Amino acid sequence: MGIIEKMRLDGKKIFVTGGARGIGKSVATAFAEAGADIAIVDLDIEEATKTAQELEKNNGIKSIAIKTDVTNPADVDAMIETILKAFGRLDVAFCNAGICMNVPAEEMTYEQWKKVIDINLTGVFLTAQAAGKVMLKQGGGSIINTASMSGHIVNVPQPQCSYNASKAGVIQLTKSLAVEWATRNVRVNCISPGYIGTELTLNSPNLQPLIEQWNEMAPLHRMGRPEELQSICVYLAGDTSSFTTGSDFIIDGAFTCI
């Protein structure tokens, strides 16, 4: 069997949080194209259902949509129960849901700070923890968390201290879980994307001046595309990455090199 065949994900069962659109949808599409069954987890159940139906139709796999608040432990437990009932097991978790608020630190309210930390960091912990419990019982699995280059640098000119702190936390959480679960065959890695031109981002009038500044600063002078995150996630989800755990993959077009 060649390396391309070995990298397929046939028979694997995967959930993707924040999977209805953007990076989550793009990576879920790659998982489905590689043969995996996918649970699209999102608060927007209508869009999640559309994405799940699209994946089934285009790839001949099984896909379900689950409405879940990743900051709510009961919701996360119910999500896992639904996945196990539908798929019978869980092989891969892509803990991807996140938000960003551009608010100056001196003006940020406690509620704004807490919302970003709850979704971006606590939400990743809760979903990774829930997935890890299942995988530890099964004897193995792979967890992929979405961090950010913002866990390595301070973005300018936008003020986003809560986002940066949350993503730095995701990176260290990933490494901690990887070490704790290393001998029990549960691998934990994260990706740290740079600026990615999702449909939502590119169509936001408020972000256009920022995008121009980001592109001027970037070595490649452009934003990344969601599909440019697909291959690394397929690799981390599959068996060819069996020696890869505790790693943070920066995919930013060399932005953090400057």
163 catalytic, yes or no?
yes
Q: How many CB atoms lie within 10 A of CB 244?
A: 14
User: Which residue is catalytic, options 12, 13, 26, 163?
Assistant: 163
CATH architecture of the domain formed by 3-252: 3-Layer(aba) Sandwich (3.40)
CB proximity list for 68: less than 8 A, separation 6 or greater: 17, 41, 42, 43, 75, 76, 78, 79
pLDDT computed for residue 61 by the predictor: 98
Domain extent listing, the chain? 3-252
Q: Side by side, which strands form the sheet with 37-42?
A: 63-67, 37-42, 13-17, 92-95, 141-146, 186-193, 248-251
pLDDT computed for residue 27 by the predictor: 98
pLDDT digits (tens, 9 = 90+) for 182-204: 999 999 999 999 999 988 788 87
6 catalytic, yes or no?
no
User: Which residue is catalytic, options 26, 166, 167, 195?
Assistant: 167
pLDDT digits (tens, 9 = 90+) for 39-65: 999 999 999 999 999 999 999 999 999
pLDDT computed for residue 204 by the predictor: 79
110 catalytic, yes or no?
no
